[in-house]
Each structure stands twice: as C-alpha cells, then as structure tokens.
Structure 1
Amino acid sequence: MGTITLMLFGILIVLIFFNVPIAIALAAASLLVVLIEGTVPLTLFIQTSFSSMDSFPLIAIPFFILAGDIMSRGGMARRLVDFIQSFIGSLTGSLGIIAIIASFIFAAISGSGAATVASIGAIIIPYMLKSGYSPGYAASISASAGALGPIVPPSIVFILYAVMANASISDLFIAGIVPGILVAVALIIVNYIICKKEGFGVLDKTTVLETATSVAETEKVGFWRSLNEAKWALLAPVLILGGIYGGIVTPTEAAVVAVVYSLIICTFFYKEINLKSILEIFLTSARTSGSVLIFVSAASFFGQVLSIERIPQFLADTIASWTTNPFIILLLINIFLLIVGMFMETVAAVLIFVPLLLPIVIPLGIDPIHFGMIICLNLSLGLITPPLGINLFIGSNIAGIQFEKTFKYVGIIFVALLVVLLIITYVPSITLFLPNLIGG
C-alpha cells in the first residue's frame, strides 16, 4: 500500500514539476499506476470520466462563471462600488472598506475569488493609489477581499466539494454565510488598524470615484442616486440566494436564473454589453468552465484509483496510529492544507484532497459540512499566499507593482484570517448554526 501511494503521488509531483497541466498530470499518474498494477481495466478511465460529468449539480459551475463574467463586464461591479462609497466616505480607511464590502457582495454573485478581485480591484485600486494609499497595501487588501469568493455563497468551490463529498450544496451555501461575515469583519478591523497606523487617506465625500456611471467626476454622488443606480446589482444576490434558501430553486437552477437576470439587466437596463461583447463573454466563460470541468473529470478518476487502492483508508489508519485526538488531527490537516494552498490552485486541491481527507475525519464525528468550510477557508488563504497567490498576482498587476511589494501588508492580513480559520475549525457551531436552524 505504501509503495502504491508513493508511486501515485511521486508521478504526480514529477509531472507537475515539469509544468505538465495539473488535470493532465492527474489523469496520467492514475493511468500509469493502473497500467503498472494491472488490476483495473483501462475502460474505467472512460467510464469514470463520463459519469463524473453526468452530474446535475455540476451544471451550476459554468452558469455561475458565466453570470459572474456578465456582471463584471456589464457594470454591476462598478455600481456596487459607487453605492458603498456614498455612505462610507468619511471613515478611516474608507476605500479599503469599500473594497471589502463590494467584494463580499460581488462574491455572492460570482462565486469566484479571482473574478472578484479582478472586477472590484480594477475599479478601486487605481483610486486608492490616487488617494495616497501605498500600492502594496492597495493590492493586498483588494486581493484579500477577493479571497471571500470561495467562502461566500454561491461559491464554486462549495459546489465542487459537495460533489466530491456527496454533501448538500444548499447546506454548504447556508453554512458559508456566518464564516464569510467573520472574514469580512476581520478584514475591516485589520484595514482600520493599518490605515490608522500608516496614515492612509480618507475618502472625501465631495469627490467621486472616477468610474461613477451617471454623474460628472467632480459632482457629489448622493446616497439615493447611487442606490438607484445599484439597485439591480444589489438585487442579484438576494434573488440568487433567496431562491435557494427559500426552496424555490435548486443551486443549479439559481445559476441559470443568475445568467438570465444578468443578461437582461446589463443589456437592457445598464446597456453596457451588446451582441459582440456577449459573444466574447460566452467564449471566455466557456474556456474557464472547460478547464474546471476537465479538472473534475481527471480528479474523479484519480479519486477512483485512490479508492480502489485503499489509499484513503491507509492514510487514515496511519494517522490514527499517531493520534486519535480530533483537535490534533484538525490542526495537522489545517497545516497541510495551508501548505497545499501555497502551491496548488484551489479547484485542483479540492478535487485531489477531499477524497483523501474526508475518510480521516468522518470517523471522528466531524460533520462533512463543517469540514467543507475548513477546507474552503484554508484554500482561500492560498489565494493570497506566495508562491501561487493568484489574487496577489492580479492585485499587484492592477497596482502596477512587483508581487513582492505586497508581502509587508499581506502577512498581517494573513495572521488575522488565520485566527478566523482556527475559530471556525474549533467552534463548529459557527458553521452549523444556520444549516441546523433552517434544516430543523
């Protein structure tokens, strides 16, 4: 058993080291082990790949990706920023707070961390720079706020975890509300402390974001005017999540509703997309969705090989021989996932490690929904930790600085989010309160 485990992961690591795409590396490592072992027919690869795609919940992923792209290109993100700016302008670190709250709302529409920082960061970072904020901090806080994407429903990562763990997507969405709010509050507190210490600018209420949609750049943006502009964008998460939590639509159906709604609003109300841009958006979303679903297919076969070779059980028994203390096991898993998140993309990490780790924690009485939140929050921290840190790359690119310039501030933010992670890990009621309340 140990030899097979080393062989499987050894091949995978070698392929990744030589820059083979992770999806191909997963499939190739699994096929090589199957060929060497000779106990499993190769037709299993085709059967597993097809059956993994034949899943109704997975349809939600391309639709949420498409909805997020439409809303980003169609002006919803910009109007959210204008609206939040209209009532936060006089607070210390106001632009950072705007970035956090706008990212929270946009994450509840797009479900993607990278899409959130790309959309909100592109709007808020240039204005932060003109208002006297350090480029490193502007990139760091925007990237960190974008990390809300994987833990604020409707998270694409939640959907993938639910498929791999055979858990309820709706329960995961409900469970993500309180942890998402905790992360946002932690970011706001850190933002206030850093801005107070560094003396970063306070947004003047008599000025307006350069991207304001309906008024001159020097004209004051009133609360009611910006609310009127943003009302359709603010209604989107209410419509999507309200439909799911109210039992009116399934998460997959809600994703379709999100696409139709965003198309109507951005085309006929905001009038910022036309037929040409719609075709471009569809092509971009199709490429993104295709890459995610290829991951799912390859990872499903990888998980099947793991199961056949009893590798998860082997790892569970090995860990159990060290300790059966749930506190220590969760601490070890947290450390492991934090390291994984530094080197591996979130989707790939969920697909690879959920089949490995879930059999370890289930016998300990840890709820799969709670464990899903631990995994997703862990891996969301990977979005802001080097060397991968995709959100940091996006934020630093928008700010026009080197990746390394963000380290001073992102380290402080990371510590704050680490505290939130530990709280969520060891206080499961934070995650399970709402699902139990609504389910009960």
Structure 2
Amino acid sequence: MDPVEDEPLAEDPTEDASVEEIVEAPPEAPSPYDGFFWFGLIALIVGLIGLGVPLYVLIGSIATYLLFFGGVFNEFRLLTSIIEQTRALADQPVLLAIPFFVISGAIMTEGDIAKRLIAFAQSVFGVLPGGLAISAVFASVFFAAISGSSPVTVIAIGSIMFPALVKAGYDQRFSTGLVTSAGSLGILIPPSIPMIIYAIADPTGLKDPVGYTVSSAGGGDSSVKDLFIAGLGPGILICLALSLWAFRIGLIQKVEREKFDIKEVGRAFVSGFWALNLPIIILGGIYSGIFTATQAAAVSVIYAAAVEFFIHKSIKLKDVPRVFSESAILMGSLLIIMALALGFNLYLDRAKIPEMAVEYILSLDLSLITFLLLVNVLLIIVGFFMDIISAILILVPLLAPIAFGLGIHPLHMAIIFIVNLEIGYLTPPIGLNLFVSSTLFKKSIGEVVRSTLPFTAIMVVCLIIVTYVPTVSLGLVSFSKGQGFWVPWPDTQVEKVEDAPAEAEPQVVAPPAEADGSAKTLDQLMDDVEEEIEEPVDSAPKTLDELMDDVEDEIADEPDGSTP
C-alpha cells in the first residue's frame, strides 16, 4: 500500500507581505452614490466657511474627514502617516527656497531697488507712445524676476508707478488695471514661489512622458530649474501683450512722450546697476548650473541685503526685525497650509482617485484639445474661489497624473496651471491682487475689478496660445537640452505613429520543400507541429521538446542558401 503523502498547506497570501503593506492596503473609495458621506463633506465645508475659519483649519478638517470616513484608514495610523508625509516634505531641500525668496522680496520692497528699476525702464521706453505704462510693465517683470511674488510686485511697483501714471495724464482706471495686472507676472516670471510649490506637489516629478525628451531626470532642484525655464516664454508673451495694449492706450489718450536722452539712460543704468544685476545673477546662475534654485534663493537674500544696507543705504538696522517678522508670519501660514494639504493628497493617493480619474477620462475618448479646454475652464472657476497655494496643493495631485496619462508634458501642464491661477489673482472674490490694489490705491473692489477686465481678457488670449502651442512653454527647455526649439503638439506625435506604414511581419523562410519546392514560413512549420500533436499515434506521444528538435533537424537537412 502506497504511503499517503501529506498535502501541502495552502499558502498564506500575506506570508511574504510586510506588515506595513497589509495595514495600508487601501479599500475602495466611497461610491459617488454614498449620499451620507458626500452630504457630510459638503455640510462640513459650508459650515466651516460660514464660521469664517482660517484656510488651514478648513483644509485640515477636510483632509481629516476624508481619511477617517472615506474608507482609507480605520486606524490611528492615520496621524502617523500625515506626520511622515510632513517630515518628508520638510526634508526636501528645494523647500528652503521659499522662505529665502520671501525674505529677499521683503528686503527689496523696503529698499530702493524697485525705484531704480523703474527709473531705468522709464529712461529706455519713455520715448514710445505709452512709454511710461510700458515702463511699468517691464519694471514689474524685472522685479518679479527677483522677488518671486505677485502681491509683493504690485506693492513695490504699483506704489511708485500709479501716482506717476496718473500725473502723466493716464486714466485712473487704466493705471489701476495696468499695475494690478502686470504685478501678477510675479508668479510666472522665474524665480516663482508657486512654481516651487508646484514642483513639490506634482506626483509625476515633472518627468518626460512617452514621446518627449525635454526635461531633466525629474525631482528636486532639476525639476524646479526646468519649470523656471518653461515660465520664461509665457512670461515674455504676456509682458509683450500688455505692452502692446499700453502702446495702444498711449496713442489713443495722446499722453505726452519723453525725449530719448542717451545720457539719462546711462545715469539710470549706473544708478540701477546693482538692482539690474540681481536677476542676471539669480537666473543666470540657475540656468547655467552654477547653483541650484535653493542656493539661488539664499544668494538673493545675501545680495539684496548687501545692496540695500551698504550700497543704497536705504534700510537701517532697526528695520531688520520688522522685515524678518513679516516674512516669518507669511511663511508660517504657508507651511501650515502645505503640511495639512498633504493629508488631502494622502487620501487621493490611497483611495486611488487619480488612477480612477485617468481611466475614466481615457474611457471618454476625449481629444487633447477638449481635455485642455475643460482643464482651463475648471481652473478659471477655481481661481474665483481658491487662492493659488491651496489650488496647487489640492488640484495638482489630481490633475497632473491625468494629463501625464494623456501624453501632455508635465512642464506644459504646470505652465497652463500657473497662467490660469495668475488670472485668478485678478478675479473676485478671492483675487489677492484686487485686495492689494484696493488697499494701496484706495479704490473699491468693484472699481479695481472693472479696471482689470481688459487685461484679464488679454491674459485669457495668451492662455489659449500657451495651452495649444506647447513650444511657448517647452521650447526653451528643449533648446537648453540640445533638442531643438520646436516642440510639436502631442496629437501630431500620435498621428505620426498611427499613420506610419506597418512593418512587414518578419518571416523565417524554410528552404524549398522536397515535393513542390515551395518555402515554408515559421508559422507553417509550427502548424505542422500542432497537426502532429493532434494526430493519433500508436507509439508513445512525443514531447514538445522532441517535436521542436525534429523541426530543427528538418531545417538543418535542407540545402544550403536558405535563411532560417
């Protein structure tokens, strides 16, 4: 009697899995038809907004609700996960760039750098129709290139240029709208604080999707550098568009022009030499690879402090505590919002919402044109009700993977995102630049909104160009990598692949058969093998290896000159 063999025990599917993987395996997200869950979320949001709680309380409460009641975590490990995410955020060196740029902007706002930049721009462009207004636009670009902040640019440039524009004969509505709109370039012209936050929040790492060889290897300062370069093209486009509008207004209102004086240009250049050098040092150092974005931010603080303290002598030692205190308050609120937004991002990741969204969008079979149109409409609406930092931290983890899955380059998507939210600075009821200008120029919010309408329309036109002409944002990045300036539309790449003639299937041709001299392909030989397997035989059946050996022998026995 044969001994009974012990049957092997069924394998435990969790035997090789780590404890962390078992605990964190996410169940399905709540169904959209789970009325109680979504009703509770909406009630929470409406209630907190009605109470007027600070933004970080609102974001933190939403994140906690989603994680506890959204079917992602049922354990206390939730809190440690958010803490771990926050610690990982704090470990990113590029995060240090934000406080440095904030401090640098505060120092320059307090000092004379803005005045000297304006004087130089006015000496160059004053001879043109609308020259003073054009000077305000270019001064905003220069200051944005060293401050990284839109509201700071409005305060620094607007406080000087608004009275000058009105005194020169420009309409007050035009003057208000111009400096408010030009100041919004602060988030698009690098270095930009929102761009740094975007690079941190984007789960794609700003890497190349299939079909592109544009960006660096993704992650850290290399991604920020590429994003800074990508912002130059759209920034210049909007700058030129606003300048053309100022040129037109100068012709219509017949504002007196200044005479071009080369000596005045020279004096303004000497006076603003140190201020003009700062964007060259910062951007040139980043783009040339001399230092990273984080190091550039530190250099900007040291340079701005040295120029304002020892050369311009416009800041006293007694002003330092106040400047640092204002910067610390701004940074404190920003970092709290970023940390709490990680909880929301954690929910999106564990509930697999980006993946489900990608699958759903792909199932709709939308064209890229339609998808990007919907994204622009969504972001314009979001700009009405959400500040730029919150919008980036909440929406980027959701939208960026979808765009990446559709073949849109993350750098292109980032610039579309930033330009949309730049327009959001000019739209009520949350538009930050509107409130800054209202306070600075002593105008009502309604007056400021009406003054910015023509400029908002100009920016929307520029947004359409940026959205559907990838070269505007990706051209300089591609050129810096030696790939050429022109970057084709993703649909073009897909069409090229689809329209390419299909390659002929390679065939292994056997030598002429002994019967009729026809050649056998590899598929025909395999058919012979299958027929032999299916045929009943009296002897023991051959194994597949034996049959394959017979095929090889048959090929080897044929006359020379054949190609297997």
- The answer to whether the aligner puts 1:385 opposite 2:453 as a matched pair is no
1-side partners of 2:420 and 2:43: how far apart? 24
Partner of 2:215: none
Residue in structure 2 matched with residue 201 of structure 1 by the alignment: 255
SS at match of 1:437: helix
TM-score normalised according to structure 2 size: 0.72
Tell me the alpha carbon deviations over residues 303-341 of structure 1, each in whole angstroms, 9 at most, x when there is no partner. 011111222233333433434311111100000001111
Check 1:276–1:411 CA distance in 2 against 1; reply closer, same or farther (3 A cut).
Answer: same
Q: What is the CA–CA distance in structure 1 between the aligned matches of 2:118 and 2:263, rounded to whole Å?
A: 12
Report what 1:244 is aligned to: 286
Structure 1 residue 6: Cα displacement: 6.9
Residue 149 of structure 1: SS of its match in structure 2? helix
Larger Rg: 2
1:182 aligns with 2:270: no
The equivalent of 1:259 in structure 2 is 301
Name the CA distance, whole Å, in 2 between partners of 1:10 and 1:192.
50
Query: Shift in Å at residue 13 of structure 1?
Result: 5.2
CA pair 340-10 structure 1, distance change in 2 beyond 3 A:
farther
Secondary structure at 2:122 match in 1? helix
Equivalent residue for 1:305, pick from 325, 347, 351 = 347
Closer, same or farther in 2 for the Cα pair 1:352/1:221, shift >3 Å? farther
- Corresponding position of 1:328: 370
Instruction: Name the counterpart of 1:192.
Output: 247
* Cα distance in 2 for residues equivalent to 1:200 and 1:22: 46
Check the 8 A contact 1:135/1:399 in 2, yes or no: no
TM alignment of 1:284-299, pairs within 5 A: 284-299=326-341
- In the alignment, the residues of structure 2 paired with residue 7 and residue 365 of structure 1 have an alpha-carbon distance, to the nearest angstrom, of 36
CA distance in 1: counterparts of 2:242 and 2:352, whole angstroms: 41
Out of 343-352 and 90-99, give the one that drifted further. Answer: 90-99
- Structure 1 position 398, deviation (Å): 2.5
Which structure's residues are more often helix, by fraction?
1
Residue 124 of structure 2: aligned partner: 87
- Provide, for residues 237-278 of structure 1, a one-character-per-residue CA deviation record: whole Å limited to 9, x for no partner: 000011111111000000000000011110000001121112
User: 1:279–1:205: structure 2 CA closer, same or farther, 3 Å change rule?
Assistant: farther
CA change 1:411–1:341 in 2 (3 A) is same
Question: Structure 2 residue aligned with 1:19, among 48, 52, 59?
Answer: 52
Pick the aligned partner of 1:282 from 317, 320, 324.
Answer: 324
Seen in structure 2, the aligned counterparts of structure 1 residues 308 and 202 have a Cα distance that, compared at 3 Å, is farther
State the partner residue of 1:139. Answer: 176
The answer for the alignment partner of 1:121 in structure 2 is 158
8 A Cα contact 1:90 1:204, kept in partner? yes
When residues 370 and 279 of structure 1 are mapped into structure 2, their CA distance, relative to the original with a 3 A threshold, is: same
Paired letter, 2:399: L
Which amino acid counterpart does residue 290 of structure 1 have in structure 2? Answer: G
Q: What's the counterpart of residue 108 of structure 1?
A: 145
1:172 aligns with 2:258: no
Specify the alignment match of 2:83 in structure 1: 46
Distance 1:79 1:314, change over 3 A: same
RMSD (Å) for aligned C-alpha atoms: 2.1
Aligned length: 427
Identity of aligned residues (%): 38
Counterpart of 1:213 in structure 2 is none
- Higher RCO by CA contacts (8 Å cutoff, separation 6 or greater): 1
Structure 1: which 5+ residue stretches go unaligned? 208-219
Cα offset for 1:399? 2.4
Q: Provide the rounded CA distance (Å) in 2 between the counterparts of 1:348 and 1:195.
A: 38
Decide whether aligned partners of structure 1 residues 221 and 394 sit closer, same or farther in structure 2, where only a CA change above 3 A counts. farther
Alignment correspondent of 1:34: 67
* Cα pair 2:437 2:448 within 8 Å, conserved: no
Inter-partner Cα distance in structure 1 for 2:185 and 2:397: 24
Q: Distance in 1 between matches of 2:237 and 2:227?
A: 16
- Tell which deviates more after alignment, 168-177 or 286-295: 286-295
